[in-house]
Amino acid sequence: MIRAATQADPAALAALHGACFTDGWSADSLGGLLASPGVFALVAERDGGPVGFVMARNAASEAEILTLAVLSAARRAGLGRALVGEAARRAAADGAVTMFLEVAIANKAARSLYGALGFEEAGRRKGYYVERPGAVPGDALVLKAELPLRPSGKVD
């Protein structure tokens, strides 16, 4: 089941984000974003608990995926695809015609997912991701898709 996040969700979403990323976002950060104009989050639940979420922001005719997190035990079951698809539908319903996101060049699974959903490279951000202190920062790809999404079925 996918549902809209509420102001009761930031602590659970922060725990989920921390389980997925080295530098997980805090409950305060997520709650602050969720309270911001144009920001929404969608939560995927199984057995009454969150196993994934997507947070996005609409601004005029553009939308941006701010983060996508799916617990490792719930991956490869279509949740990421469903969350991004639902975020894109909601963004389009709110007037967005284009959606952007950043993804680490090294994250082949995420790049494959986004490519299959019709996202294409629009740019790069050098040194955007720092996995751990002292590590060499990784580059990010800026990806763009026209809304509604037109899945290609292509998997890189």
- Report how far residue 31's alpha carbon sits from residue 27's, in angstroms, rounded to the nearest whole number: 6
**121 part of the active site:** no
User: Rounded to 5 degrees, what angle do the CA atoms 76, 78, 80 make?
Assistant: 95
Residue 53 pairs in a beta bridge with: 43, 69
114, 120, 121, 131: the catalytic one is: 114
- Report how far residue 57's alpha carbon sits from residue 38's, in angstroms, rounded to the nearest whole number: 5
Q: 27-34 and 10-20 helices cross at what angle (nearest 10)?
A: 120
Both structure tokens of 53: 């979420």
- Report how far residue 42's alpha carbon sits from residue 2's, in angstroms, rounded to the nearest whole number: 6
**129 part of the active site:** no
Q: How far apart are the first and last CA of the chain?
A: 28
- Report how far residue 34's alpha carbon sits from residue 108's, in angstroms, rounded to the nearest whole number: 28
102, 120, 121, 131: the catalytic one is: 102
| Residue positions annotated with a catalytic role | 102, 114
